[in-house]
Amino acid sequence: MSGHLRIVMAQINLLVGDVDGNAERMRAAVAEARDRLKGHVVVFPELALIGYPPEDLLLRPEVGRRVARALQHMEKGARGIDVVVGHPLAADGRLYNAVSWLRDGRTIAVYRKCELPNYSVFDEQRYFLAGADACVVEVHGVRLGLTICEDIWTPGPVAAARDAGAVAIVNINASPYHTGKWREREEIARLRVRETGCSLVYANLVGGQDELVFDGSSFAMDRKGRILVQAPAFREGLHAVDLDTSGEVQVGTRASLPATDEGIYEALVLGVRDYVRKNGFQGVLIGLSGGIDSALTLALAVDALGVDAVRAVMMPSPYTSEISLAGARAEAVRLGINYRVIPIHGLFDSFITVLSGEFEGAPAGITGENLQARIRGVLLMAISNESGRLVLTTGNKSEMAVGYATLYGDMAGGFAIIKDVSKTQVYQLAEYVNRRASERGEAIVIPGEVIRRPPSAELAPGQKDSDSLPPYEVLDPIIEAHVERNLSIEEMITAGMDAPTVERVVGMIRRNEYKRRQAPPGVRITRRAFGRDWRYPITSGYSSR
């Protein structure tokens, strides 16, 4: 180890609010980084002691006291290795997003985050005051500048650390995943490296927290902008970065980051696994329909939680086709899950009888369709109550955008894994699941008939999604342009999209905000998901023209 400095990036999965539990996990990682990896410094993610994002937990006075006590315990354990730990810091009546550098049983330096993000899923200015000063610490003759997450997305904080004498930058992060995020991080890191001439160690959080998934993917970049150490995505672990005496990064272990479909799939798996386990549910329950959305949801749940934790129920109505029954049965058998069929014909007839005095004849159209969905929702929630299993809804982003879902029906449940996955992406992920199974020499998971058949809610005779919606190959680009890229109606039409279709779809998106506000949370995998970073009023006279 002589002649260089070893920094260990602790890419770990923490639980928001569990200050003592997080500190205990970190102390175990400190010991491993010191004793097994022979590190000189171990670096933990942003706000690691309380977890990210802590949201309004930060407003509770006892939280600050717990963090202070845990930090004192962390100090005592900082022996034989320096410990860099993120935490909220109360000082002078203000609260800061901070990082402390611990050495030999005491804190030798504290840095306060300068750039506080207040966009998309971030609202740090609600809680924190920005810092203003650079922080540089010398270890084994190498001067390291401390920064926190957003600090490297603008030139100032890294330049200030360089001007204070840093030759390498340590950046601790709680940077959530969305498609394309790896490229964005790499480009920003390379820009800062080239501006300052400093190498960069980027340590990121991993794990699911409500709607957000933190992918890890920690890395170290040399002064030429090359990533020489790459940690895996979506996996916990301790990863060593060696610097020479000048602070330059040396070649180390480089994991391959997954391709787009695999990355999305792994993010969804991690998101539902952590949501279920961190909230203490016994398992999950899924209403299988024989369609592609519920088939993908089932595959994700089994990969996330294991066969024994997943239960499925098929609830055929008078309009359920034989191909749906066969598809659902095949999926359940291939995955080996606990599976039952509970027909709802009799219940549907009973509801019609009870409501006969309210209607002139049997309810037709949307009333009858929604009634079937709501019967299914009641049954699923009853089984959930009795079994302690969390109901996973199966609606996708395309449906959530335009309100093609039933309140208190197929929207009833506790977590919506594919809520931010468009219908087009659902098909792509289904193909990925089957391709992966084939490459492993296993039987495909989702039957080809389920993938090839025209999508249908099967709530009316011969019903198809295309009866109510534009084709998904037309619908999804409009949703992506308007929701994720914030384009107006005029901009979409100018880009070549059909004007009447654009106006119709945008109108549906606006009208159905009230439904989305009542939907369960789900994993965010795009740049802009419905939830934390989509905050439109329900009652509004605004037009997107």
Q: How far apart are CA 29 and CA 43, in angstroms?
A: 10
Q: Which residues on adjacent β-strands are paired with residue 87?
A: 98
Assign 120 to helix, strand or coil.
coil
**What is the DSSP code (8-state) at residue 313?**
E
Q: How far apart are CA 529 and CA 535, in angstroms?
A: 10
Question: What DSSP line would sit under 396-413, residue for residue?
Answer: -HHHHHHT-S-TTTTT-S
Q: How far apart are CA 192 and CA 469, in angstroms?
A: 46
Count Cβ atoms within 10 A of the Cβ of residue 462 and give its class: 0-12 exposed, 13-18 middle, 19 or more buried.
exposed
Q: How far apart are CA 506 and CA 376, in angstroms?
A: 30
**How far is it between the farthest Cα atoms of the chain?**
88
Catalytic residue among 75, 114, 124, 149: 149
Q: How far apart are CA 161 and CA 247, in angstroms?
A: 14
Catalytic residue among 46, 75, 266, 484: 46
Q: Any catalytic annotation for residue 149?
A: yes
Q: Any catalytic annotation for residue 135?
A: no
Burial of 423-448, coded b for 16+ CB within 10 Å and e otherwise, reads bbbbbbbbebbbebbeeeeeebbbbe
Can you read off the two tokens belonging to residue 311? Answer: 């239960």
Assign 35 to helix, strand or coil.
helix
Count Cβ atoms within 10 A of the Cβ of residue 233 and give its class: 0-12 exposed, 13-18 middle, 19 or more buried.
buried
Within 330-446, strands assigned E span 338-341, 389-393, 415-416
Can you read off the two tokens belonging to residue 541? Answer: 């006279």
Within 63-112, strands assigned E span 82-91, 94-103, 106-112
Strand 106-112, strand 94-103: pairing: antiparallel
| Residues 174/50, Cβ–Cβ less than 8 Å | no
Catalytic residue among 113, 419, 423, 515: 113
Q: Distance between terminal CA atoms of the chain?
A: 64
| Residues 4/249, Cβ–Cβ less than 8 Å | no
What does the chain come to in residues? 545
* Torsion from C-alpha of 157, 161, 163, 166, nearest 10 degrees: -150
CA angle 403, 408, 411 (to 5 degrees): 50
Q: How far apart are CA 229 and CA 218, in angstroms?
A: 8
Q: How far apart are CA 148 and CA 143, in angstroms?
A: 17
Q: Any catalytic annotation for residue 46?
A: yes
Question: What DSSP line would sit under 522-543, residue for residue?
Answer: ----SSS-SSTT----SS----
Long-range contacts, stretch 348-356, CB < 8 angstroms, 24+ apart: 348/317, 348/318, 348/372, 348/375, 351/375
Q: Which residues are catalytic?
A: 46, 113, 149
